[in-house]
Each structure stands twice: as structure tokens, then as C-alpha cells.
Amino acid sequence: MRNLIVAALVLAVLYFANPDKADHVKAINARATEKSGELIGAIQSIANAVDPDLEYHNFYLFSTVTRRENLVSVGLLKMVFPAKE
């Protein structure tokens, strides 16, 4: 019984700490800025924010963002990990 309660608590934490699309876009933009400098990074950030090819996939316990079928970022526990390009 205790194991069931612990499992339910872990699942609840994962569910409620799942990052949304805005968190993913923010992490992608931060990665673009640090990777290519301030000016170019800012331009890429704006392009990523309005990119219609970015698709948010919510799997309830974690989430991903893809662009044209390529994985861009993975999110778990309010943390987003941009994929290496």
C-alpha cells in the first residue's frame, strides 16, 4: 500500500511539474543566444518564438518540442534540456 502511495506521489509531481511550451521556447532561445552571441542569438530567439514548425508534445509526465520531426528539447520537472544540434 505504501508503494502505491509513493508511486502516486511521484506521478503527481511529474504531472504538475511538466514544463509548458513557453518554458521550452525560453530554453531554446537561451541556448541560441549563448551559442551564437547576443545579436544573432536575439534574432534567432525571435525566429524561434514565432516558428510555426515548433510542435509541443505533452506526454503528461514529460514533454518535448520538435521542429520538422527533429527533437529540439525535452522537459521534465520544470527543467528543459535543449537538444544538441
pTM score, whole prediction: 0.76
Q: What is the number of domains present in the chain?
A: 1
Please indicate whether residue 3 or residue 43 has the higher confidence score (pLDDT). 3
DSSP state of 37: -
Burial class (CB in 10 A: 0-12, 13-18, 19+), 48: buried
Q: What domain range includes position 36?
A: 2-82
With 70 as the cut, is the pLDDT of residue 85 above it?
no
43-68 pLDDT, tens digit each: 555 655 566 788 999 999 999 999 88
Helices (H), 1-85: 2-16, 21-36, 38-49
Q: What is the spatial distance between Cα 81 and Cα 64, in angstroms, rounded to a whole number?
A: 9
Q: How confident is the model at residue 10 (pLDDT cuts 50, 70, 90)?
A: very high
